[in-house]
Structure 1
Amino acid sequence: MKKDQLLSRRALLTAAAAAGAAGTAGALAAGLGNGPARPPAPAPGPPQGSPLKPSAYRLQPLTGYGAPRAAPRRPPVRSEPILRMTGPGRTMLLTFDDGPHPEYTPQILDTLAKHDVRATFFVCGEMADYNRDLLSRMADEGHVVGNHTWSHPQLTRLTRRRIRSEMERTSEVVEQAYGDPPRWFRAPYGAWNRATFELGSELGMEPLAWTVDTLDWTTPGTGTIVDRVEDGAAPGVVVLSHDAGGNRSQSVRALRRYLPELLDSGYHLTTPRRGRV
């Protein structure tokens, strides 16, 4: 009797194993035969020659991005971006747009690390995708990474669908490389509209602009950039500089000069926190 039961059990196990192998083979065959669908390429950016500030360059968009993730907790929908941040004492924020760049961003990170200062980097998804190691370094060193769209277009010229794509693709790359989705968003050229505020909120991001524009993208000279930061320094100020989008060697040198001077003057350089507006 026991021998019959043993033979019967072996027969059942053999049949189950055969069925499982067949199912696995079928699934693999199906996967090989049907690759992922290629998403449509983004539409061209805004027309050239229009008066855009504070930068005048364009990044060419890449195609291909994953499925959107579940939306995080939404902040309120604002009607204008945040320009200043409150904090204890003489608090200021240093922000850098358009990167990360493989040459200039590491030099900026080195200077910040030397002085034990944290900053905020509003990255373009296209640049971040090619320099994910720099986003990982930003995370390791305590910096904040914000969303500056995928290809740096003027959002007020785009459809709502294109704006969402620009934001979502960048948030996805940031989350993969930085470890967390961005909680702050900055519109290229400071061009905001209702759609940017609404979509940013849907993706869990607050809009942060700036108080002091160094205009370093015009390469006015290292001394001029330093003067603009020091002349504009005040509690709550948000400083705008760039770590990509052109030759940023002046921005790198200027940071090395004005950062220790701000610290010696009693300023606390920090990163944005929600609720401190």
Structure 2
Amino acid sequence: MKRKIANSLIFLLCLFIFAQSACEKGEMVIPPDEAESPSVEKEPSPINEIDPSILLDEILAMAQKGMIKESSYDVWQTTIAQVEKEWGKPEQVDRAGYGIYASFPEKQITIGYSDDGEIFDIRSYAINLHEITLEMMEKKLGKPSEIRELENERIYVYRLENQLELKMVITNQTEGVDHLSVFNGERAKASVIEEERDYHLDIKGTSNQLSAKAWKDMQKWRKDIVSFSRDYDHIYINGPNKKKVALTFDDGPDNFVTPAILDVLKEYNVKGSFFYLGSEVEKHPDIVKRTYSEGHFVLSHSYHHVDLTTLPEDKIRLELEMAGNAVKKVIGREPAIFRTPYGETNGLVADIADEEGYSIVLWSIDTLDWSQKESENIVNNVMENVRNGDIILMHSDSEKTETAKALPKLILELKARNYDLVDLETLLSIQGYKTE
């Protein structure tokens, strides 16, 4: 009996020592029954627990405050320094659009901010956005203020108060929303640094077909118009001092040269800005529709291509109105960018354009494809003079076959020098079309 008691005590003592040793090592002593039963993993919570309709309510409520629901930052007061203090450095930083974009993949958020660090754009890539379809979006939020068609995505823009925009982005690869953006246009535009606002280029481009007098007159006009433009915030000769240029085409559309130019731009994945005449728009609506559907800007070059500085006020307004209506009838949108015929612009024309909601965009490189028409000269006029922010003038009417011929080489050489070829809305950070 004593031996049995002793053996029992020894067994209990060993068990106590084993348990104490395991605890000291931070190990858990698992009961045999539990160790032998198969482990059952807890079912993960569904990614999309919120009904899309409720989610859209939350998105809109937060956007009206300049925020997204996944963060406490806004596009009114916060800075990138505040974000980095809490989240650390971003994984990737890129310069684009109005400023700099910082990516925080773990947060599924990208933040746009100015050179001064002020946040103007907050983008959410939350997975639950994928549940929101276009049908749901329009049912809850209504029709968007604007739809921007890009190569691989459609941006549905809802304009809110105080210059805020809620942008819902659906890509070609997604049925639902890929990501959203809450954007403060007022703060973004203010982010353009003063140095870039004071960046003024003179106008370049030569032709051996001009007489001495014609060349002298052109040189004087160029100098005068650059000086004149500096007195108006809505007149542009060039874009900011960034590695970007814009290809622009006047006097179309037609049934031959314009389609050839569109073919080249499509092949090289470049967006152009077309200043069409209202009278020609009415003759070639299918070409205008194609221009718009392929992501280019359809802009105004007046209705009749007359020197507006020779007209009275009512005739100037009529030229703008008729051209705008002609474009709107075809694509459903009215241009907000205007190029005066021959570039002739005076105070009256500038004031009327401003009153009618137009920015006037001229050019800083004239290829003179209307004078010395050879494709080689067109390319040389650009490549021998190109600078950051250049606006390049070409033509797309029926006589400009050499322009279409020069375009592939011009695009390749500009890309080889690392220039980003963009439309005027992107280059100048202005609206390409009027809002209703």
Instruction: Tell me whether the two structures share a fold, i.e. TM-score over 0.5.
Output: yes
Q: Which residue identity does 2:325 align to in structure 1?
A: E
**1:172: which partner in 2?**
325
Assess if the C-alpha contact under 8 Å between 1:86 and 1:276 holds in 2: no
Q: Which has the higher contact order (CA 8 A, sep 6+)?
A: 1
Which residue of structure 2 aligns with residue 252 of structure 1? 404
Deviations 1:161-186 (A, max 9, x none): 11111110000011111221101011
Distance 1:189 1:80 in 2: 18
Cα RMSD (Å) = 2.2
2:59 corresponds in structure 1 to: none
Match of 2:271 in 1: 118
Is 206-215 or 255-264 further displaced after alignment? 255-264
Q: Give the equivalent residue in structure 2 for 1:11.
A: none
- 294, 298, 306: which one aligns with 1:141: 294
1:240 and 2:424 correspond: no
After superposition, the C-alpha distances for 1:11-43 in whole angstroms (9 at most, x for unaligned) are xxxxxxxxxxxxxxxxxxxxxxxxxxxxxxxxx
Identify the residue that residue 354 of structure 2 maps to in structure 1. Answer: 201
What's the TM-score, normalizing by structure 1? 0.69
TM-score of the superposition, structure 2-length normalised? 0.44
- For residue 82 of structure 1, what is the aligned residue in structure 2? 236
Alignment partners' CA distance in 2, 1:207 and 1:131: 24
CA contact (8 A) 2:238 2:389 kept: yes
1:80, distance to aligned residue in structure 2 (A):
7.3
1:150 is the counterpart of 2:303: yes
More strand by share: 2
The 2-side partners of 1:257 and 1:237 are apart by: 18
Q: Does 1:227 align with 2:227?
A: no
Q: What amino acid does structure 2 have at the position aligned with 1:201?
A: D
2:334 aligned partner: 181
User: Is the alpha carbon distance of 1:109 and 1:182 closer, same or farther for their aligned partners in structure 2, counting shifts above 3 Å?
Assistant: same
Percent identity of the aligned residues? 30
Q: Within 2, Cα distance between the matches of 1:210 and 1:229? A: 12
SS in 2 for 1:99: coil
Q: Which residue of 2 aligns with 1:71?
A: none
Q: Distance in 1 between matches of 2:300 and 2:361?
A: 10
Contact 1:219 1:250 in 2 (8 A): no
Change (3 A) 1:154 1:79: farther
Whether contact under 8 Å (2:236, 2:361) holds in the other structure is: yes
The equivalent residue for 1:22 is none
Kept after mapping to 2: 8 A contact 1:185/1:206: yes
Within 5 A, what are the aligned runs for 1:260-275?
260-273=412-425
Q: 5+ residue gaps in structure 2?
A: 1-213, 219-230, 431-436
1:202 positional shift: 2.3
| In 2: Cα distance, 1:262 partner to 1:179 partner | 33
Q: CA deviation at 1:189?
A: 0.8
Radius of gyration: which is bigger?
2
* Deviations 1:29-76 (CA, angstroms, capped at 9, x unpaired): xxxxxxxxxxxxxxxxxxxxxx8998xxxxxxxxxxxxxxxxxxxxxx
In 2, the alpha carbon distance for the partners of 1:135 and 1:204 equals 22
SS at 2:370 equivalent:
helix
Aligned residues: 203
Divergent runs of 4+, >4 A: 51-54
Shift of 1:79: 6.9
Conserved 8 A contact 1:93-1:270: yes
The answer as to whether partners of 2:325 and 2:334 remain within 8 angstroms in 1 is yes
Where does structure 1 lack aligned partners over 5 or more consecutive residues? Answer: 1-50, 55-76
CA offset at residue 203 of structure 1? 2.2
User: How far, CA to CA, are the matches of 2:294 and 2:408 in structure 1?
Assistant: 18
CA distance in structure 2 between the partners assigned to 1:203 and 1:100 by the alignment: 24
What is the letter of the counterpart of residue 240 of structure 1? L
Partner SS state of residue 217, structure 1: coil
- State the distance in 2 between where 1:272 and 1:231 align: 22
C-alpha displacement at 1:234, in angstroms?
Answer: 1.6
AA in 2 matched with 1:243: S
One-letter code aligned to 2:402: Q
